């Protein structure tokens, strides 16, 4: 029998291991030259026309939180968040003290429904946080038109979308601030890590300061020979800086990201061609470049999702559900009278099956054969 196939596993090789070891030997473990090298490489990777500025952070959650702070979102403001997302997208808004306004999603992509978002705008709405679910881009054009019309800030939650393109431009080129996750299961994996990017250098430098106690930028140099001992706390900040060991992993992972994303796309196309047509898949299109962080499938109504996941497990296949919509969780349940008709409908039948660039052809074929057998 085949070994357990997890939902995702990192695609780490000798190059990552060697650079992490070299970095440990260098004696500089925290934020330093390796982080700068990663940030510069990320900016270069994402750049289409205008310059992009990057800030390495310890998570995407930190990036989202600091983005709200940098854009001056405050107590009393409202922020529109899709209900179909992970806790992080909304909880950062709660931490700021602003109001989370949950929005329903599109049936085919699971991304925010921009028409429904428009109806949620009030004179208190300050920002919108679209999420590119599974690595397929939101309707960025419609979102930026809406933002322009109603003077909203846009923070993209691109936790799933490093390398995704909207038309021919990579995600990271469009909004006020874009936030990426480099969590262990993500397309670019550091274990824990994230980044914020923007075309606005001042915003990124503001976030950099906020990511280290509001201390002026000389702080990171103070242990170097050229650095000074003096530092000044200019405002209240947080501790969210990226360290050199994770950055070292990121440098190598970024070098091979396109290759890893290509492998994900190959696996997705194999799934699409060979899985039974009794299943429904999320939308893909030639217009954009999907990076398949996840591969969600929707079951026919006669199959119970929980039983199906159990049966996959018995057959050594991992599965999970991305996501339980926020409005169904205890904390968010009674906070909205909005209608989540699409999210409610989709949630009952959906699950994610294994998807990662480190899967072998044999594993991919086994997943297809097993699912087709169970669905019948
Ligand atoms: C949509 C989404 N946003 C944000 C996050 C948070 O990312 P991180 O773990 O890097 O903070 C996740 C994590 O899985 C996510 O799926």
186 is catalytic: yes
The residue whose CB lies within 8 Å of the most ligand 1 atoms, and thus the one to mutate among 129, 181, 253, 352, is 181
What mean pLDDT is reported for the chain?
A: 96
| C-beta of 194 in contact with ligand 1 (< 6 A) | yes
CB 176 within 8 A of CB 153: yes
> Buried b / exposed e across 158-196, counting CB within 10 Å, b at 16+?
bbbbbbbbbeebbbbbbbbbbbbbbbebbbbbbebbbbb
Q: Is 221's pLDDT higher than 80?
A: no
Identify the band that residue 218 occupies on the pLDDT scale cut at 50, 70 and 90. low
Closest CA to 373 of 295, 279, 267, 294: 279
Q: How many CB atoms lie within 10 A of CB 334?
A: 8
Query: Does 88 contact ligand 1 (Cβ within 6 A)?
Result: yes
CATH no. for 14-255: 3.40.640.10
Q: What is the DSSP string of 264-293?
A: HHHHHHHHHHHS-TTSEE----TTSB---S
Collapsed DSSP state (helix, strand, coil) of residue 177: strand
CA of 161 from ligand 1 middle (Å) equals 11
Is 231 a residue whose pLDDT tops 90? no
DSSP 60-127: HHHHHHHHHHHTT--TT-EEEEESSS-HHHHHHHHHHTPEEEEE-B-TTT-SB-HHHHHHT--TTEEE
Looking at the predicted structure, is the pLDDT value of residue 225 above 80? no
Instruction: State the chain's maximal CA–CA distance in angstroms.
Output: 69
Q: Tell how far the Cα of 312 is from the centroid of ligand 1, in angstroms.
A: 25
Which token pair is 68?
């709200």
The two structure tokens encoding residue 28: 């500089």
pLDDT tens-place string over residues 317-371: 999 999 999 999 999 998 888 899 999 999 999 999 999 999 999 999 999 999 9
Would you place residue 2 in the very low, low, confident or very high pLDDT band (cuts 50, 70, 90)?
confident
Confidence of residue 219 (pLDDT cuts 50, 70, 90): low
- Which is more confidently placed, 217 or 96? 96
Q: Residue 357 is encoded by which pair of tokens?
A: 């660039």
Nearest atom in ligand 1 to 133's CA: 1
Statement: 258-375 belongs to CATH 3.90.1150.10 = yes
pLDDT surpasses 70 at 244: yes
Q: How far is CA 189 from the centre of its chain?
A: 11
Q: What is the pLDDT of residue 336?
A: 82
Residues 82, 84, 89, 92, Cα dihedral to 10°: 80
Query: Given this model, what pLDDT does residue 99 score?
Result: 97
Provide the pLDDT for residue 230.
Answer: 81
- pTM of the full structure: 0.97
Instruction: Give the atom of ligand 1 at the shortest distance from the alpha carbon of 61.
Output: 11
Ligand 1 atom at minimum distance from 322 CA: 16
Q: What is the number of the ligand 1 atom nearest to the C-alpha of 62?
A: 11
Least confident of 7-21, 62-76, 216-230, 357-371: 216-230
181 Cα: distance to centroid of ligand 1 (angstroms): 6
pLDDT, position 41: 98
Name the active-site residue from 186, 199, 206, 209.
186
Domain residue ranges in the chain? 14-255, 258-375
């Amino acid at each position: 029998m085949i070994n357990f196939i997890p939902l995702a596993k990192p695609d780490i090789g000798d190059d990552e291991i060697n650079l992490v070891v070299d970095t440990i030997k260098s004696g500089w473990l925290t934020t330093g030259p390796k982080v700068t090298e990663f940030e510069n490489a990320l900016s270069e990777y994402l750049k289409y026309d205008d310059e992009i500025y990057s800030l390495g952070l310890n998570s995407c959650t930190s990036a989202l939180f600091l983005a709200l702070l940098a854009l001056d979102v405050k107590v009393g403001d409202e922020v529109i968040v899709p209900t179909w997302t992970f806790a992080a997208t909304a909880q950062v808004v709660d931490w700021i003290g602003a109001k989370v306004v949950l929005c329903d999603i599109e049936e085919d992509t699971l991304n925010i429904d921009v028409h429904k978002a428009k109806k949620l705008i009030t004179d208190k709405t300050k920002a919108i946080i679209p999420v590119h679910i599974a690595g397929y881009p939101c309707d960025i054009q419609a979102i930026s038109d809406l933002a322009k019309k109603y003077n909203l800030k846009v923070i993209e939650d691109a936790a799933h979308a490093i390398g995704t393109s909207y038309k021919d431009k990579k995600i990271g080129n469009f909004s006020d601030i874009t936030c990426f996750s480099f969590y262990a299961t993500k397309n670019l994996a550091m274990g824990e890590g994230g980044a914020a990017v923007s075309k606005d250098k001042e915003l990124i430098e503001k976030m950099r300061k906020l990511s280290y106690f509001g201390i002026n930028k000389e702080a990171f140099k103070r242990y170097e020979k050229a650095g000074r001992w003096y530092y000044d706390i200019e405002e209240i900040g947080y501790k969210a800086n990226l360290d050199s060991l994770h950055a070292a992993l990121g440098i190598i992972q970024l070098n091979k990201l396109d290759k890893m994303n290509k492998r994900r796309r190959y696996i997705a196309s194999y799934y699409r061609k060979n899985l039974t047509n009794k299943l429904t898949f999320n939308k893909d299109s030639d217009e954009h470049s999907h990076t398949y962080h996840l591969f969600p499938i929707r079951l026919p109504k006669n199959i119970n999702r929980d039983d199906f996941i159990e049966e996959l497990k018995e057959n050594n296949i991992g599965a999970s559900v991305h996501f339980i919509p926020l409005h169904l969780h205890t904390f968010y349940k009674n906070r909205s009278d909005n209608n989540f008709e699409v999210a409610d409908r989709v949630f009952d039948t959906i699950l994610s099956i294994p998807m990662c660039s480190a899967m072998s052809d044999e594993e991919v074929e086994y997943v297809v054969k097993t699912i087709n057998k169970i669905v019948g």
